Amino acid sequence: MAVYGQYPQDAAGRPGGVDARVLWSGGAATALVVALIALVGVVVFRGVFDIPILAPEGDGVWGDVSTVWFMAAAAICALLAVGLAHLLLLSTPRALSFFSWIVGLATVVAGVAPFITDAALSSKLASALINVVIGFAILGLVSGAARSAVARAVRNG
């Protein structure tokens, strides 16, 4: 069992810690989930609704290499969120409140970003929806992993 750093306090005001193994394994699982959300979003919108996102319509249901980059970007965002959560847990009071605000605002930016492109409105809406679902997944899954990492460290510490 590895406990790294000091969490400012647990719910009872006692010093706690962060189980980095639990946090980062949850983060790796989150990265996989959000990459798959990106893939499912592309397949659903391109294949079911015939909305061209990330590539021209002629590239088919799976799109092109942009789909792989979108999946990779989603996974990288999840891992960056885990790093942010870990940093906040080690240094900040009410770390998960700050984490929620940061990820929530980043999700708003990701949801609005497609609307600054020249794409069709349907493509903008589809891209925005996928981005927001990815953001909510990162927020919920990483927050849950962080709570588990702190609880485990407090329980075993």
Q: What is the pLDDT, as a whole number, of residue 6? A: 42
Select from 143, 142, 149 the least CA-distant residue to 31. Answer: 142
Domain count, the chain: 1
Residue range 103-125, pLDDT digits in tens: 999 999 999 999 998 888 988 99
Q: For position 115, what pLDDT does the model report?
A: 93
Q: Which residues contact 101 (CB under 8 A, 6 or more apart)?
A: none
83-108 pLDDT, tens digit each: 999 999 888 888 899 999 999 999 99
Domain that holds residue 53: 4-156
pLDDT tens-digit readout, 1-52: 343 344 444 444 444 578 788 889 999 999 999 999 999 999 888 888 888 7
Name the one residue in this structure whose structure tokens are 């493509």: 123
List Cα–Cα distances, 28 to 19, 44, 45, 112, in angstroms. Answer: 15, 24, 26, 26
| Distance from C-alpha of 26 to C-alpha of 145, rounded to nearest angstrom | 5
pLDDT tens track for 51-81: 878 655 555 555 566 888 899 999 999 999 9
pLDDT at 60: 54
Q: Which residue has the tokens 């770390």?
A: 95
pLDDT reported for residue 118: 86
